[in-house]
Amino acid sequence: MVVSSLNTYSTSKQEVVNINKNHKESKLISINQNGQIQIYQSSYRGSYSSIIRDSLRNAALGRKVLLVQLMKGGVKQGIPNAQKLCGNLTWVRPSNSYDQHESEDITNNENLAEEIHNSIIELWNFCKKELISGEYDQIILDEVFLAVEMNIISKDDLISTLENRFISGDVILTGTSIPKNFLLMADQITELRS
């Protein structure tokens, strides 16, 4: 017997339909509805244009895609100003980020540094909600490992969120320095070279 977490078969993962109570040798198999975790690694930042291209293609093919660039800002960005492309691609960046300011300004201004940090945390909390909601067919967390390396996102929080996600499609994580814990979790690891 196969147990599925699809709502069309049962209302929860715990419910099981027992078709034949007398058949004692039935073996239950739980099917995990989560998609794969894919990691794209590169030796330098800004090398993920192929992932962005693929997200556009997937959106044009009807898949609902969320592209989150955690460490890159832009004019009038942030969760309320997420960009919609191809009808199915939601592209969001933090409302304030490190690349929008000179490093000296951030170092010399505690308030600015805190504002940037909080902006990225706000976006990460949005990502966690979306990973658990199952609303998207594909979620891309661009430069999430840089946020981990900079201690903006905790490694344990990211691991826990990935383990508890509900998304039937793939979760794509990118970065330049990937902690071993995540390499072990990944279904696919791709190294991008110039």
Supply φ then ψ for residue 117, to 5 degrees: -55, -50
The predicted structure's pLDDT at residue 23: 46
- How many independent structural domains does the chain possess? 2
Q: In the beta sheet, which residues pair with residue 65? A: 89, 138
Q: What is the pTM of this model?
A: 0.78
| Secondary structure (3-state) at 118 | helix
| Side-chain half-sphere exposure of 194, counting CA atoms within 13 A | 6
d(CA 171, CA 191): 16
| 106 & 11 share domain | no
The predicted structure's pLDDT at residue 10: 34
Q: What is the mean pLDDT of each run of 10 residues along the chain (194 residues)?
A: 32 39 49 77 75 89 94 84 91 89 86 92 96 92 93 95 86 90 90 78
d(CA 112, CA 106): 6
Neighbours of 147 (CB within 10 A): 23
The predicted structure's pLDDT at residue 51: 85
The predicted structure's pLDDT at residue 67: 95
| 8 & 41 share domain | no
Q: Which residues contact 157 (CB under 8 A, 6 or more apart)?
A: 128
| 50 & 40 share domain | yes
The predicted structure's pLDDT at residue 46: 63
